[in-house]
Each structure stands twice: as structure tokens, then as C-alpha cells.
């Protein structure tokens, strides 16, 4: 990552990369008071120019309130970054996405927004795989309702359409061609995944906000560790199944192993 790009404010990043979307602004304003809604993008291609720079995918701005919600892509460090501005103070958190690189195409990116307080959070799915969640102590609904005259503007990367859904997360994942079996597995673990807080990015120009209860943070960290352990266990089981299948094929092809032969 180029440090000078990492520390630029959102408006500087947006000049060349994003533009205001009036239709998306209207759609987000229609769902902003809901407990849950979903934002998604498809077929996110690597940039040919400015490779290695941080890409702003979309931003929800609350004009005149010093409050924003921004989602960014950092391919070089394999991160999807959630940056919120709360009364002028910036909070930056990230998901680590192992499959992300400077040459890969992201087929689908789905952000499930849960605004119930306490415990508001956003959960990320990249190519149908859950990447966990980050806590949002001040949800977008809170930002909107604290304004004297509530209004918002959505900015997005010009190359991609931002889809806004008030329906179920499952229907959005299904529309993005996620396998039905995988959908069932994700729905089964969703309550656990929704408590997986990702460590915040520490940047020298941004004051880190510590307003989460320490006990809640400990619970979130424990659940995060549990999710990582479950993912590793799933990979080990899959590897063992592959080895058993291979050994079975060898035994079936082995003439000396057949019954009655010496």
C-alpha cells in the first residue's frame, strides 16, 4: 500500500474514482430506518491503472453532519476496509480476505447491515464466503436520525452498480449464485459470525475510538477465535476425506489386496 494514498481523506479519494448516485441515494434513504438491509456489488475487476492503491467502492455521506460510512478495497494487503466518520472522528476497521489479490475479479461482494442497538454490525460476504463482521457502535441509521434535517448522499465507484435490498440476506446471496448448500451452512452459523469483530486499522492520522465495553470486546474476540478454529477444522476434515478417497481408490485397484489372493 502506498502510505500517501492510505492517509488521504475520503473526498480526495473520491474525486477520480467515485461519483454521486442519485438513485442509490434514494434507495438507501428508503431503507435507512430498517433494522436490516443489504448492499451489494458484482464483478469487481482489478484496476489497470493505479494498481496497488486503495479503491473506494462506495460511501454513504450525511452532508453537514461530519458523519460517513465508507467501504474500500485494498488488494495489496488483502483487506476490505470499513471506515466510519462519527462527529468528525474516524474509525477504521478491516476484514482480511485471503482470496483477494491485485489480479483477481471479485464476483460478488455483499454487505449485510444490522442496525439493532446494542450490537449493531455489518457482515461481509465475498464470493459467497462469509468474512465475519465488524461492529458499528454508531450505525448509519443513528447518523441519519441525529441530523437536524435528515438526508444522505451515496457515492459509488463509477464502474459498478450498487444494489440496495430490504429483503432477506438469503435472497441476495441466492441472486449472486451462491450454492444452496453453502447458503444453508452460512445461515446456520450466522448468529456466531455476527459477533466476529475484526481488529481496527491503526493509522497515525486517525484517533482510535475506544467506546466498546471491554467485556463485550472479550466476548467478540472469543467468538472470532472460535470461527477461525471452525474454519481450520473444516479444512482439515475436507483434506482427510480427500486422502481417504485416494486410499480407497488405491485399494480397489490393487490386485494383491483382493480377497483370496496371496
Q: How many residues does the chain have?
A: 262
Confidence band, pLDDT 50/70/90 cuts, at residue 21: very high
The CA distances from residue 121 to 55, 118, 193, 204, in Å, are 22, 9, 11, 25
Burial tier of 244 (Cβ tally within 10 Å: 0-12, 13-18, 19+): exposed
Contact 119, 164 (CB under 8 A): no
pTM of the complete model: 0.68
Query: Is a pLDDT exceeding 90 seen at residue 196?
Result: no
CA distance 106 to 99: 9
CA distance 71 to 83: 6
Query: Is a pLDDT exceeding 80 seen at residue 12?
Result: no
Q: Taking the CB of residue 256, how many other CB atoms lie within 10 A of it?
A: 6
**Which residue did the predictor score with more confidence, 182 or 135?**
135
Least confident of 1-5, 59-63, 86-90: 1-5
pLDDT confidence of residue 205: 38
Q: Give the residue among 80, 126, 89, 33 at the shortest CA–CA distance from 210.
A: 89
Report whether the peptide linkage leading into residue 36 is cis, meaning its omega lies within 30 degrees of zero.
no
Share of the chain above pLDDT 90, in %: 58
Cell triple for residue 11?
Answer: 473526498
Q: Across the chain, how many H-helices and E-strands are there?
A: 7, 11
Q: How high does pLDDT run on average in the chain?
A: 81
First to last CA, the chain: 64
- Which single residue is written with the C-alpha cell 483370496? 260
List pLDDT tens digits, range 29-69.
999 999 999 999 999 999 887 666 899 999 999 999 999 99
Enumerate the H helices of 68-206 as residue ranges: 140-145, 169-175, 180-193
Of 2.40.128.50, 3.40.50.150, 3.40.640.10, 2.60.120.200, which CATH number belongs to 3-179+197-212? 2.60.120.200
List pLDDT tens digits, range 74-85.
999 999 999 999
Contact 114, 36 (CB under 8 A): yes
Query: Is a pLDDT exceeding 90 seen at residue 204?
Result: no
Confidence band, pLDDT 50/70/90 cuts, at residue 234: confident
Query: Is a pLDDT exceeding 50 seen at residue 106?
Result: yes
Report whether the peptide linkage leading into residue 156 is cis, meaning its omega lies within 30 degrees of zero.
no
What DSSP element (H or E) covers 136?
none
Q: Taking the CB of residue 25, how many other CB atoms lie within 10 A of it?
A: 20
pLDDT confidence of residue 232: 78
Amino acid at each position: 500500500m502506498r502510505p500517501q494514498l492510505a492517509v488521504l481523506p475520503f473526498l480526495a479519494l473520491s474525486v477520480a474514482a467515485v461519483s454521486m448516485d442519485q438513485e442509490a441515494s434514494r434507495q438507501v434513504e428508503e431503507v435507512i430506518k430498517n433494522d436490516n438491509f443489504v448492499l451489494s456489488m458484482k464483478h469487481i475487476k482489478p484496476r489497470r491503472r493505479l494498481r496497488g492503491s486503495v479503491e473506494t467502492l462506495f460511501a454513504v455521506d450525511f452532508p453537514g453532519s461530519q458523519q460517513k460510512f465508507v467501504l474500500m478495497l485494498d488488494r495489496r494487503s488483502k483487506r476490505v476496509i470499513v471506515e466510519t466518520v462519527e462527529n468528525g472522528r474516524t474509525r477504521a476497521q478491516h476484514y482480511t480476505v485471503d482470496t483477494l489479490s491485485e489480479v483477481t475479479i471479485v464476483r460478488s461482494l455483499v454487505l449485510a447491515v444490522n442496525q439493532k442497538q446494542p450490537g449493531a454490525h455489518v457482515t461481509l460476504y465475498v464470493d459467497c464466503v462469509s468474512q465475519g463482521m465488524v461492529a458499528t457502535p454508531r450505525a448509519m441509521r443513528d447518523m441519519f436520525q441525529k441530523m437536524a434535517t435528515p438526508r444522505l448522499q451515496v457515492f459509488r465507484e463509477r464502474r459498478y452498480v450498487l444494489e440496495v435490498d430490504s429483503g432477506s440476506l438469503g435472497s441476495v446471496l441466492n441472486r449472486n449464485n451462491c450454492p444452496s448448500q453453502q447458503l444453508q451452512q452460512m445461515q446456520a452459523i450466522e448468529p456466531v459470525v455476527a459477533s466476529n469483530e475484526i481488529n481496527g486499522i491503526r493509522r497515525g492520522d486517525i484517533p482510535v475510538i475506544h467506546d466498546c465495553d471491554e467485556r463485550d470486546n472479550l466476548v467478540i474476540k472469543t467468538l472470532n477465535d472460535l470461527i477461525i478454529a471452525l474454519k481450520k477444522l473444516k479444512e482439515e476434515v475436507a483434506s482427510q476425506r480427500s486422502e481417504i478417497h485416494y486410499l480407497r481408490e488405491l485399494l480397489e485397484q490393487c490386485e494383491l489386496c483382493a480377497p483370496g489372493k496371496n
